[in-house]
């Protein structure tokens, strides 16, 4: 039996101290404040955010911390414990699409996007000020757990506070959910334009707007959100996260290709997003009818198949999005009305929904990987109520809904399956719904 490797979140105090020490070592002075933002897992609603669907993510206890001090000029300087070496410095005028590369694009892109969205301006017309930053993170990197969004959002709350420090009349955006939604918009812009990843906004929204103890439903048509009580712990369950350690990347073209395929399908159907092709509360029959219409249009030659796609791959994209909208709606329905506890049948149904989502992402959307499939198969075989990949896919992490007393056994079974398949050892953590980006000290 393979001993599973656990990666619990270090305690906040240690992380704050680590960010402060890095700041001191790098810049030779004390930081003004420390901010942090969480990584996330998505329970259900995968690859639907950029299709106008609803997502159901939760924030992880694993966070990215940034120690900060203002500068006299407008430049931004950053050091990271994950990227040892001299700090990197930039002038805001040098930040533009295509001009910043690598991990610093997730940092420098944020003040650029905040300036672009006029988020620095207060009563006195303050611009986004310059700053020195030192970063430490416990969000596993490249694990599909939104380390990029955690970095962007920690930097966003830091610059928000710096701008309000310069101008006492400027309201702190982080003090309201509406303001946080505006910061999320800036972080999405930074990721799309400066980091060059055409992601959909779920990750930044949960990192900035999470509510401790709850999952969040986010309707990505307008990014309205509400907390939902899916209290796995009170039901004696756990949400196990399996980091396959197979690196996941969103900037290598496969994610963008899926998104372009969906956008093209929406254009062909003359709707803003694929979600808009469905009614407000669609049924299984509605989805089947739409798929028949889609097939008929393809067969008659009325449906163009964009370059790089095939009839089968395009059908897989639309089928995944529409069925995932149904699965998400079912999940939200299970936990919206039920007086707690939702009861065993609800948990068993949630398990089936997770399984259905994974099968659809593997077969229709084709964003799974051998490691993710192995993790999901082993978790299910070891007694998980359901399991699926989470996040963008192509490597990264899976989640499994397990009885608390089975958590260790399920983790061991997955670790065994990885060893048998010749994969490197996976790592495990528990998803406990945690709080949003904040000022720590």
- Nearest residue to 136 (alpha-carbon basis) of 30, 17, 40: 17
Between 17 and 373, CB nearer to ligand GAF:
373
How many residues lie near ligand GAF (CB under 6 A)? 13
Applying CB under 6 A, among 18, 49, 159, 335 the residue interacting with ligand GAF is 49
CA distance 423 to 403: 26
Task: Give me the residue label for tokens 């095939």.
Answer: 310
Strand partners, 136: 65
CA distance 391 to 397: 7
Between 61 and 392, CB nearer to ligand GAF:
392
Applying CB under 6 A, among 16, 19, 44, 46 the residue interacting with ligand GAF is 46
CA distance 201 to 214: 19
- The span of 120-128, 168-176, 200-208, 420-428 binding ligand GAF (CB under 6 A) equals 200-208
CA distance 79 to 20: 12
Q: Say whether residue 392 binds ligand GAF (CB under 6 A).
A: yes
277: Cβ contacts below 8 Å, ≥ 6 apart: 266, 269, 271, 290, 322
Applying CB under 6 A, among 137, 185, 199, 329 the residue interacting with ligand GAF is 199
Give the pairing of strands 215-219 and 83-90.
unpaired
Q: Say whether residue 200 binds ligand GAF (CB under 6 A).
A: yes
Question: Measured from the CB of residue 46, what is the shortest distance to ligand GAF in angstroms?
Answer: 4
Applying CB under 6 A, among 203, 371, 430, 440 the residue interacting with ligand GAF is 203
* Catalytic option among 49, 132, 160, 203: 203
CA distance 426 to 73: 45
Between 52 and 61, CB nearer to ligand GAF:
52
Question: Measured from the CB of residue 196, what is the shortest distance to ligand GAF in angstroms?
Answer: 13
Applying CB under 6 A, among 4, 22, 34, 47 the residue interacting with ligand GAF is 47
CA distance 342 to 338: 5
C-beta of residue 440 within 8 angstroms of C-beta of residue 18: no
User: Rounded to 5 degrees, what angle do the CA atoms 407, 409, 413 make?
Assistant: 115
Which residues ranging from 232 to 261 are in contact with ligand GAF (CB under 6 A)?
250
Task: Give me the residue label for tokens 């955006």.
Answer: 173
Applying CB under 6 A, among 38, 391, 426, 433 the residue interacting with ligand GAF is 391
Q: Convert residues 16-45 into a mask of x (bound to ligand GAF by CB under 6 A) and - (unbound).
A: --------------------------x---
Among this protein's residues, is 377 annotated catalytic?
no
Radius of gyration of the chain (CA): 22
- The span of 26-34, 198-206, 275-283, 302-310 binding ligand GAF (CB under 6 A) equals 198-206
Strand partners, 218: 55, 225
Task: Give me the residue label for tokens 């669609």.
Answer: 282
Question: Measured from the CB of residue 440, what is the shortest distance to ligand GAF in angstroms?
Answer: 25
Q: What are phi and psi of 46, to 5 degrees?
A: -100, 135
Kindly state the tokens that stand for 71.
């500068």
Question: Measured from the CB of residue 155, what is the shortest distance to ligand GAF in angstroms?
Answer: 17
Q: Say whether residue 202 binds ligand GAF (CB under 6 A).
A: yes
Question: Measured from the CB of residue 84, what is the shortest distance to ligand GAF in angstroms?
Answer: 26
Q: Would you name the residues annotated as active-site residues?
A: 203
- Residues of this chain that interact with ligand GAF (CB under 6 A) are 42, 46-47, 49-50, 199-203, 250, 391-392
């Amino acid at each position: 039996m393979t001993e599973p490797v656990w990666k619990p979140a270090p305690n906040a105090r240690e992380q704050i101290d680590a960010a402060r020490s890095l700041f001191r070592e790098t810049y030779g002075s004390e930081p003004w404040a420390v901010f942090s933002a969480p990584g996330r897992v998505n329970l259900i609603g995968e690859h639907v955010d950029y299709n106008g669907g609803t997502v159901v993510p939760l924030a992880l206890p694993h966070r990215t911390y940034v120690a900060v001090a203002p500068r006299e000029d407008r430049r931004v300087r950053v050091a990271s414990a994950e990227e040892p070496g001299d700090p990197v410095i930039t002038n805001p005028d040098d930040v533009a699409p295509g001009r910043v590369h690598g991990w610093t694009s997730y940092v420098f892109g944020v003040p650029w996007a905040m300036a672009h969205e006029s988020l620095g301006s207060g009563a006195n017309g303050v611009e986004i000020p310059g700053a020195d930053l030192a970063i430490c993170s416990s969000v596993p990197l490249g694990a599909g757990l939104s380390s990029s969004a955690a970095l962007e959002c920690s930097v966003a709350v830091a610059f928000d506070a710096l701008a309000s420090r310069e101008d006492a009349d400027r309201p702190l955006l982080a003090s309201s959910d509406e303001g946080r939604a505006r910061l999320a918009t800036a972080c999405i812009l930074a990721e799309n334009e400066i980091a060059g990843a055409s992601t959909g906004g779920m990750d930044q929204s949960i990192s900035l707007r999470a509510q401790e103890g709850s999952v969040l439903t986010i309707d990505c048509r307008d990014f309205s959100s509400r907390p939902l009580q899916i209290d796995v712990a009170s039901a004696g369950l756990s949400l196990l996260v399996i980091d396959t350690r197979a690196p996941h990347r969103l900037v290598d073209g496969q994610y963008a290709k899926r998104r372009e395929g969906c956008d093209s399908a929406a254009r062909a159907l003359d709707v803003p997003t694929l979600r808009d092709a469905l009614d407000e509360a669609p049924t299984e029959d509605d989805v089947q009818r739409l798929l028949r219409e889609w097939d008929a249009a393809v067969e008659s030659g009325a449906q163009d198949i964009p370059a790089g796609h095939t009839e089968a791959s395009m059908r897989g994209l639309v089928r995944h999005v529409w069925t995932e909208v149904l699965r998400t709606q079912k999940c939200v329905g299970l936990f919206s009305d039920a007086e707690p506890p939702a009861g065993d049948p609800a948990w068993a149904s949630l398990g089936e929904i997770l399984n259905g989502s994974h099968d659809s992402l593997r077969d229709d959307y084709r964003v799974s990987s051998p490691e993710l499939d192995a993790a999901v198969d082993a978790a299910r075989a070891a007694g998980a109520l359901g399991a699926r990949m989470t996040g963008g896919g192509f490597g990264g992490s899976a989640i499994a809904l397990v009885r608390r007393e089975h958590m260790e056994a399920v983790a061991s079974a997955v670790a065994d399956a990885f060893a048998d398949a010749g994969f490197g050892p996976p790592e495990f953590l528990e998803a406990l719904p945690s709080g949003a980006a904040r000022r720590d000290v």
